[in-house]
Structure 1
């Protein structure tokens, strides 16, 4: 891969010294992202966010205090999409590139289908970072799925995390309910509970949340338990003022010849002003209400044609269910209101056509409309403003701020058809008002929404979070790790104890014999919620082979054989934001939650007995902790043991830390568990196995999660032996 750009490659002004220049890593997992000909509107996942992250990457790379910007997304190898999305690295210019990381199946997946593969994405991205000559200084995640990945990377690397939500699950859930969708339908289609959980987690962990508007903070983030306005910053994105500008005398509007031909074929009077809507074919974009508003207003039909540009299509029957439903509704409404010849639904346009489409609408003295039920920001409103095109926009979300700054149109209730039609007519029928809005939009968008201004404001915030050091070299393994790894052991077996390793004495003897036989080939590790002294007593009592690594107290402590020396680097790493006394005070007020004995507590673990009949639910306790801005990892095991450890600590995170020290690839680690506290050991790239026992339902959430989670039919140690055979681990 290309090395980060040198200082000499950055444009004027004069770059900062190399040791002061930032290396930024942006994460945007879903959609189809490339540096040219963005397929905006291809589907619900390839919209404004994909354009935003590409433009942000380029804008940041132009800044003198930036050395390198990596935009990381998912690699897609699929005959149904361009080969561009299969390229591991795509340069975007000096100091900027797109990096594509494998995760799950090779084919393109919609974002709702990606959740089960995000742990693998995080593991693969961490491995990529480790292979680079230098670490990034910070991470910036975009949307909930990237936030999920960003939290895990931030915990593993200690790097500060920035986050931009783009749209939020709680707000979407609220609006889907208002549209009449059932709770089951919402969960099945949108995986909304996983999305909201990820958003809560990222809000708790992020050092800074970047929003586009004040409305986004006050109306949308306020719905979350982790709502913390103090760490949120409004930094509006920019728009491309070179491509988007008002029509001029030499403007080659005939460049969009195919698009114009489709309008002439569809419209009886194509010379009339154009009411332009440009969005994805998504129910939330509310295009059907726009058609109904137009159909119910004869005077509006006399004034203008309606042109709806909603992605590209060949045959509606070949579209996904959501876009197909939108187009079907639109065509039925056009027929119902007898609008044939007055409404155009062009089938094709290119990304290069989009600026010209805006200018065509402006040249016709038309109006742009964004009728969405809610709009997190509203990039199309900036593009319309830059094109000298007045707008009518939804009053829900980002357009409130945009129109306050650019003063180039009117806000409406997106569900009020009459108000929508009246707003459009008010602009179209008043030439002086149209001129005023067109001039103000073109002038004020340049003042408030340039990419350079956005990048400068962004970096001012980012640099305050980063203590830039002269060298950000990736740490090398310790001498101990090199020595142990050199003994030829290139794979590892990690297992929990209770209800996993223990429970079948004869099976344990068979497994122990195999571990001893393979001790020169495998590392053997135990990961448990128990304390060190308790684990050592069990090892002696049951004749378990002495492990190379002990992960104890739910991943908050790591010890190495033979002298059980603690890993002090791990202790320093997980101590981040750990406030045990505050947690104890809060937890002692909860009914049905009682502290376990002093022997079960440790410096980085608070343990409680949990009575489900009396206590708040685990989700309620988690919400309470978030409300108090307490970042912890909370686990319920065997239905009765509740443990709190630092956010950076868990069995899975400790396993990955130890594996990195021993240079053991995760896909050569067999990780076994049997209760909820083992889940993140099994997710991602490890070869996970859930042994059969009466508590395995706690791990039901990983059923089918990835091809690397095997549900053993046998229990305890025999289940581990079954998994060894299943994965052909002896020959791996």
Structure 2
């Protein structure tokens, strides 16, 4: 059976927020919105397809007294062939997405470990949002599995809109960590085989802002909506239980309902809607306003963003004296949402989405499927939805007069209301079914499977590794060498423990240079040498090259093109041939003449070159294949020799070593003149800053971790 025909195993990755298969807590916070519903529905829809064997949805396991115990369940079935798997990463408690970045390498290591325990690896990785994109990219580089990505929202677009709102750049960075997110998005765009978007606007209006913009790798596949759950109403308003909730707020609950349903987020622009309603006597006379903005018990205990939005809502109600005209319920269950739409439809009301930008707009589909006409932002997904469904009016979300006029035009024209309602009901079924989405999805990913080249499994020399169940890896120049007495003590230590531990070197030096300097300093020949910044792997005793690793990292590597592009960059001069290797192009970097490294990386992205770049010690610049780095090579070794990362101690001393120190390895930053380059590493259980210099720092770390007795 060919790879194209075999039943597929698809792994979806969506890390942040609260994801479960029932009673989704949509609107609980800024991270538990439409994306969580999208990925659950997508998993179920794909699992219903005939040629799909299995769909796993990987998210973060959370153990937190403030949230439901469902989120600590490691495996949760969604259907016969779909399940949620939860992976522990970092602290057990719930974290917002901006605080997850330091733990994504741990998530990637733990997820790969889980995958290795399954009967087979997935055929496709599909990441959702930038954080999952980073994880998916790491897994793809390590396994060779094709990566598909969906952004949901993008950092460059978000930063632009926050700046337009008047927020200072420093405040934006401190609150949202957008630089890290945007860099991850650029790397994902450079490495994903396919980018799936929900609308054409995402491609032309958002992804176009990125250096690695390749529209030919992008496809629009609109998500579906659950038509068994969202359907038009029958009967009367008072037959819907949620109508009793409105009676507490409204003088005339029978009037048409203007419904806004979203999480309490400043980008949803709810306050502008309230201001438009409050300033229009005609709107207040014709209709009530219903704001469903998540769930709350005490506004004072909510996170800063939600607290600010809800407080402003309450202030505006008081300023415009909207008591009796507006309802802002404190609680609603997810199962009540379809009835809320139907209640508004029975009242001959309107659904309004005034967001500053809306990446897609699942609520618009849900409202349309229940028979509600739409008034929605002209920025983002609603353009496609209303264009296809012909059931509403697009507005400038910052123009209160435009919002008012659009609402009045529907509320005062029963014929127009009915036409939009009927058109929405018909076209949601035509354009936005999950069945159609899943079929198009599978058609687009099948060609990717033919390109798949999994990393081959070597057969290690078991005699050499019979009693070795752990490893120590160290850089040479800034970690191992520098303190002669310490080096002598370390080499004695290694010789004594040699039967129980692999000794490895990870260096930017070429093999010949590494062997020469080790011999000069009487360092025992390592069992493993990872050289040229992770582009080459050699094994003792015969210093045998790992040909499988070389084939794996040759992916999309175009050294001639790279040299031609960089030849035009001032301040970059090729180092001598003795410093070059097949998978490493090395330059001298003159900071007075050369542009910043970020600009050089941008240039390579714009030329559609997917690579890893490194600036070392301020005056060296290296370009490597995208699948090669110290950390990736180290993890490849761990997979091949079946050594848990938790039993590998890595020693580094400069920024060049950061890649191999993040994640599940035990790491030590030795004392030296460059250790400040690693000061941002903050994982106290797995990254230890030694007081002793160089090799003495490695010994200090061995004792700190109780390395040889730690299981």
Task: Pick the TM interval, shorter chain.
Answer: over 0.9
**Whole-angstrom distance in 2 between the partners of 1:72 and 1:557:** 32
Partner of 1:459: 442
**Whole-angstrom distance in 1 between the partners of 2:599 and 2:24:** 42
Deviation at 1:51, TM superposition (A): 0.2
Deviation at 1:711, TM superposition (A): 1.9
Partner of 1:105: 91
Indicate conservation of the 8 Å contact 2:237/2:343, yes or no.
no
Deviation at 1:526, TM superposition (A): 0.2
Indicate conservation of the 8 Å contact 2:230/2:369, yes or no.
yes
Deviation at 1:479, TM superposition (A): 3.0
**Whole-angstrom distance in 1 between the partners of 2:459 and 2:448:** 32
Deviation at 1:713, TM superposition (A): 2.5
Say yes or no: does 1:546 pair with 2:529: no
Partner of 2:108: 122
C-alpha distance 16-727 of structure 1, shift in aligned 2 (>3 A)? closer
Q: TM-score, normalised by structure 2?
A: 0.98
Partner of 1:723: 701
Partner of 1:8: none
Alignment of 1:507-586 (within 5 A): 507-586=486-565
- Tell me the SS of whatever aligns to 1:730: coil
Say yes or no: does 1:599 pair with 2:578: yes
Q: Deviation per CA, 1:411-433: give whole Å up to 9, x if none.
A: 00000011111111110011111
Partner of 2:344: 361
Deviation at 1:20, TM superposition (A): 1.9
Indicate conservation of the 8 Å contact 2:614/2:622, yes or no.
yes
Indicate conservation of the 8 Å contact 1:394/1:414, yes or no.
yes
**Whole-angstrom distance in 2 between the partners of 1:334 and 1:463:** 53
C-alpha distance 225-515 of structure 1, shift in aligned 2 (>3 A)? same
**Whole-angstrom distance in 2 between the partners of 1:125 and 1:485:** 25
Alignment of 1:310-459 (within 5 A): 310-459=293-442
Partner of 2:23: 37
- Tell me the SS of whatever aligns to 2:28: coil
RMSD of equivalent CA atoms: 1.7
Partner of 2:281: 298
Partner of 2:232: 246
Partner of 2:589: 610
Say yes or no: does 1:708 pair with 2:686: yes
Q: TM-score, normalised by structure 1?
A: 0.95
Say yes or no: does 1:667 pair with 2:646: yes
User: Which of 254, 259, 270 is the equivalent residue of 1:271?
Assistant: 254
Partner of 2:143: 157
- Tell me the SS of whatever aligns to 2:488: helix
- Tell me the SS of whatever aligns to 2:308: helix
Deviation at 1:84, TM superposition (A): 1.0
**Whole-angstrom distance in 2 between the partners of 1:525 and 1:616:** 36
- Tell me the SS of whatever aligns to 1:368: strand
Q: Deviation per CA, 1:628-681: give whole Å up to 9, x if none.
A: 110111011111111111000001100111111121110111111112221111
Deviation at 1:97, TM superposition (A): 0.7
User: Which of 157, 160, 166 is the equivalent residue of 1:174?
Assistant: 160
C-alpha distance 17-567 of structure 1, shift in aligned 2 (>3 A)? closer
Partner of 1:484: 464
Moved more, 57-66 or 15-24: 15-24
User: Which of 225, 236, 246 is the equivalent residue of 2:211?
Assistant: 225
How many residues were matched structurally? 710
**Whole-angstrom distance in 1 between the partners of 2:2 and 2:312:** 55
Say yes or no: does 1:686 pair with 2:656: no
**Whole-angstrom distance in 2 between the partners of 1:663 and 1:201:** 29
**Whole-angstrom distance in 1 between the partners of 2:243 and 2:260:** 15
Q: Deviation per CA, 1:253-309: give whole Å up to 9, x if none.
A: 745x2x322210011111110000000000100001011010111100001000000
Unaligned runs of 5+ in 2: none
Say yes or no: does 1:633 pair with 2:633: no
Indicate conservation of the 8 Å contact 2:237/2:347, yes or no.
no
Q: Deviation per CA, 1:169-221: give whole Å up to 9, x if none.
A: 00000011111111121111111111001100100000000001111100000
Moved more, 637-646 or 524-533: 637-646
**Whole-angstrom distance in 2 between the partners of 1:418 and 1:706:** 54
Say yes or no: does 1:590 pair with 2:576: no
Deviation at 1:477, TM superposition (A): 5.3
User: Which of 637, 653, 677 is the equivalent residue of 1:698?
Assistant: 677
User: Which of 479, 503, 510 is the equivalent residue of 2:482?
Assistant: 503
Deviation at 1:700, TM superposition (A): 3.1
User: Which of 131, 144, 148 is the equivalent residue of 2:117?
Assistant: 131
Indicate conservation of the 8 Å contact 2:237/2:346, yes or no.
no
Q: Deviation per CA, 1:14-42: give whole Å up to 9, x if none.
A: x9999521110000001111111111111
Q: Deviation per CA, 1:444-493: give whole Å up to 9, x if none.
A: 11001000000001000011111299xx9x9885332544332x111111
Deviation at 1:318, TM superposition (A): 1.3
Indicate conservation of the 8 Å contact 2:455/2:552, yes or no.
no
Partner of 1:69: 55
**Whole-angstrom distance in 2 between the partners of 1:16 and 1:615:** 50
**Whole-angstrom distance in 1 between the partners of 2:180 and 2:307:** 26
**Whole-angstrom distance in 2 between the partners of 1:425 and 1:484:** 80
Moved more, 57-66 or 180-189: 180-189
- Tell me the SS of whatever aligns to 1:479: coil
C-alpha distance 253-466 of structure 1, shift in aligned 2 (>3 A)? farther
**Whole-angstrom distance in 1 between the partners of 2:457 and 2:527:** 17
Q: Deviation per CA, 1:387-426: give whole Å up to 9, x if none.
A: 1000100000110111000011100000001111111111
- Tell me the SS of whatever aligns to 1:729: coil
**Whole-angstrom distance in 1 between the partners of 2:619 and 2:678:** 15
Partner of 2:624: 645
Partner of 1:3: none
**Whole-angstrom distance in 2 between the partners of 1:72 and 1:540:** 47
Indicate conservation of the 8 Å contact 1:485/1:663, yes or no.
no
**Whole-angstrom distance in 1 between the partners of 2:512 and 2:473:** 19
- Tell me the SS of whatever aligns to 1:312: coil
C-alpha distance 648-501 of structure 1, shift in aligned 2 (>3 A)? same
Indicate conservation of the 8 Å contact 2:553/2:627, yes or no.
yes
Deviation at 1:730, TM superposition (A): 3.3
Say yes or no: does 1:654 pair with 2:641: no
C-alpha distance 481-158 of structure 1, shift in aligned 2 (>3 A)? farther
Indicate conservation of the 8 Å contact 1:377/1:398, yes or no.
yes
Partner of 2:33: 47
Indicate conservation of the 8 Å contact 1:137/1:468, yes or no.
no
Unaligned runs of 5+ in 1: 1-14
